[in-house]
Structure 1
Amino acid sequence: MKTQPWQLETGAYPFSIRFNPHYSHLDTERHVNNVAVQSFHTEARTRFHMAVLGDRAWYSDDVLLRPRRTVTHFLRETHYPHEVTAAVRLVAVEDDSYRLVQALFQSGECVGVQECLMGAWGEAGWAASRWVALPDAARRALAAEQVDGQPLLPWPELPEETETFEPGPRQVALTARYADLDPDRRLSELAQARYLEQARAGSVTMLRQPNLGLLVARIDIRYQRWDTGMGEVALSSELAGIGNSSFVLRGRAAVDGRPVAMAESVMVLIDRDTHRPTPVPDALRAEMAVLQPPTA
């Protein structure tokens, strides 16, 4: 899935908010961390829901409106402390889902785009919790905000969902924290993004090379369930593909043995001196063999 020209224009988005990045959003590369960037999209989406569905739309004691999938494109580095404009456009509404396109603008440029498929999660006990139809009132309100007129690209293919955790070649244990819960006492969207970042970081660290850097170009996350709170966290990662100057890492996160999210992250290798993409060296390709999943 690539970005489209209209997604990079501020005028394409009828809803937007402005804010400044915080110092705490910075990472070791001295720009805004990828999960912090995802939090900007989450904030814009939440404010959009509040504008359309009411001021109390940021929490629920009944059906939860949650992302089923997000594809986040990191087009440029986002810098501190310059103001960011986060924009939202609702492009499709179905009986059980709706689709948003979101963009971030900084210093007159589009620095990122996210496509988000939202759904409704209904809870009736652990075994009966599942994706359900959108509440009628929410569906009608959202449909009134739909903006047509621009083509939509199909979602990239991902592996089938599984009900049991299938760890990849590299595994990481993690302790859940109270801060990982959202106001609905569920494992938050950003906590899951952090889990998947940690799964990815373990693999990336072992691939670090002198004078070479790595940038995240795209993160595609599928959120599998929203009935999970704190529990025993298990993470894993594997190599899903390799190109000329990029490769794809697939990460999985589970809580108490049940899969909660899966991500595919496109990583681009760059030359630190020129800050341009550079081919993956043969030696690094050989080292990546340990991240390949076993063949059947």
Structure 2
Amino acid sequence: MKTQPWQLDVNAYDFRHTLSPQYGHLDTLRHVNNVAVHGFHTEARMRHLLTLLGREALFADDVLLRPRRTVTNFLHETHYPEDVICGVRLVAVGNDHYRLAIGLFQDGQCVSVQECLMGAWHGDQWVDLPAPVHAAFAAQLADDAALVALPALDDGSVEVHRYPSRVAVTARYADMDPDARIGELALARFVEQSRTGSLNMMRKPGMGLLVARVDIRYDRWVRGLGSVELVSALAGIGNSSFALRCGVQVDDRLVAVGESVMVLIDGASRRPTPLTAPLRQAMTPLMVAPSQASADAG
């Protein structure tokens, strides 16, 4: 998904605040972990919500304001301990959604942007935004900004049972958010775990992997903990990049679908390096052949 030029300008965001990375946000590559960066986007969104709707909007026992989709682009590594300026801009409002553009800036450059499509979850389904919420966001809608349609993300609900990599994980109390749902960052962490658990063939001396984009669609916001299974498969391979699709299942029901675009890099230069034939061969077991139904449809 192409980042628009205005998204790289901190002054294009009408709501801004500052966060300080913590030492605990660092990963084994010694930069801020991608899920922690996702957390910065989430924090920016919640601060924006707090400013617009007040504290009562932060928690709910009825209608939940939750993301329906987040598309996060990682443009540069985020480091510790320099502050990060977070910017939020409301760019669209509909009866059942609103859309936010969020940018993170460190040391004068944009390190990450996120497109976030928000919705209202009630009971066991997506519903229209409550009238006061819709009115409040509609009143704050910024001037038209150049937007790009969110890329297609097949839900995998038919094919997910055919994904070759399957890993059971234990959900923890800490995975629940204040509304006793498996939280957004827990789901992002599950998508991350699906990558680290299925890409062992890529871990070679002198090579590394960078996350370029993580696209997550949130299908269900389940209450409490359950039996979690992560299923994954390759969705496509390029010259030096590839896309890994993940499904998060709770009690055998699909709750989220994630797609991670990864780039193979040279460990010394930190530049993209081509996927060799042996690596491509090693990745073959993660691929799913088209189903007979798909073949017949084509």
> Could you say which TM-score interval applies, normalised by the shorter chain?
over 0.9
Amino acid corresponding to residue 15 of structure 1 in structure 2? F
Q: Within 2, Cα distance between the matches of 1:100 and 1:42?
A: 11
Pair 1:282–1:163, CA change in 2 (3 A): closer
Amino acid corresponding to residue 109 of structure 1 in structure 2? Q
CA contact (8 A) 2:160 2:231 kept: no
Q: CA deviation at 1:208?
A: 1.2
Matches within 5 A, 1:6-45: 6-45=6-45
Query: Counterpart of 1:126?
Result: none
Query: Counterpart of 2:189?
Result: 194
1:258 to 247, 253, 259: 253
1:77 aligns with 2:72: no
Q: Within 2, Cα distance between the matches of 1:273 and 1:207?
A: 16
2:211 to 188, 205, 216: 216
Q: So what's the TM-score if we normalise by structure 1?
A: 0.96
Matches within 5 A, 1:264-279: 264-279=259-274
CA contact (8 A) 1:181 1:191 kept: yes
- Quote the sequence identity (%): 57
CA contact (8 A) 2:201 2:283 kept: no
1:239 aligns with 2:245: no
Query: Counterpart of 1:114?
Result: 114
- Structure 1 runs of 4+ aligned residues shifted over 4 Å read none
Amino acid corresponding to residue 184 of structure 1 in structure 2? D
Q: Within 1, Cα distance between the matches of 2:58 and 2:190?
A: 23
Q: Within 1, Cα distance between the matches of 2:102 and 2:186?
A: 20
Q: CA deviation at 1:167?
A: 5.1
Amino acid corresponding to residue 36 of structure 1 in structure 2? A
Secondary structure at the aligned position of 1:144 is classed as helix
Q: CA deviation at 1:56?
A: 2.3
Amino acid corresponding to residue 212 of structure 2 in structure 1? A
Q: How large is the RMSD of aligned CA atoms in angstroms? A: 1.3
1:287 aligns with 2:282: yes
1:95 aligns with 2:95: yes
Q: How many residues align?
A: 291
Q: So what's the TM-score if we normalise by structure 2?
A: 0.95
Q: CA deviation at 1:237?
A: 1.0
Q: Within 1, Cα distance between the matches of 2:61 and 2:249?
A: 24
Q: Within 1, Cα distance between the matches of 2:135 and 2:236?
A: 41
The unaligned stretches of length 5 or more in structure 2 are 292-298
Per-residue CA distance 1:130-175 (angstroms, 9 max, x = gap): 0000000000001111112321111111113638962511111100
The unaligned stretches of length 5 or more in structure 1 are 124-128
CA contact (8 A) 2:164 2:288 kept: yes
Per-residue CA distance 1:98-124 (angstroms, 9 max, x = gap): 10000000011100000000000011x
Amino acid corresponding to residue 108 of structure 1 in structure 2? G
Q: CA deviation at 1:293?
A: 1.1
CA contact (8 A) 2:162 2:288 kept: no
Query: Counterpart of 1:134?
Result: 129
Matches within 5 A, 1:152-163: 152-160=147-155, 162=157
Amino acid corresponding to residue 44 of structure 1 in structure 2? A
Q: Within 1, Cα distance between the matches of 2:257 and 2:171?
A: 17
Q: CA deviation at 1:227?
A: 2.7
Q: CA deviation at 1:44?
A: 0.4
1:207 aligns with 2:199: no
Q: Within 2, Cα distance between the matches of 1:19 and 1:48?
A: 14
Amino acid corresponding to residue 26 of structure 1 in structure 2? L
Q: CA deviation at 1:261?
A: 0.6
Secondary structure at the aligned position of 2:239 is classed as coil
Per-residue CA distance 1:77-115 (angstroms, 9 max, x = gap): 000111001110000000000100000000111000000
CA contact (8 A) 2:155 2:257 kept: no
Query: Counterpart of 1:148?
Result: 143
Secondary structure at the aligned position of 2:140 is classed as coil
Secondary structure at the aligned position of 1:209 is classed as coil
Query: Counterpart of 1:227?
Result: 222
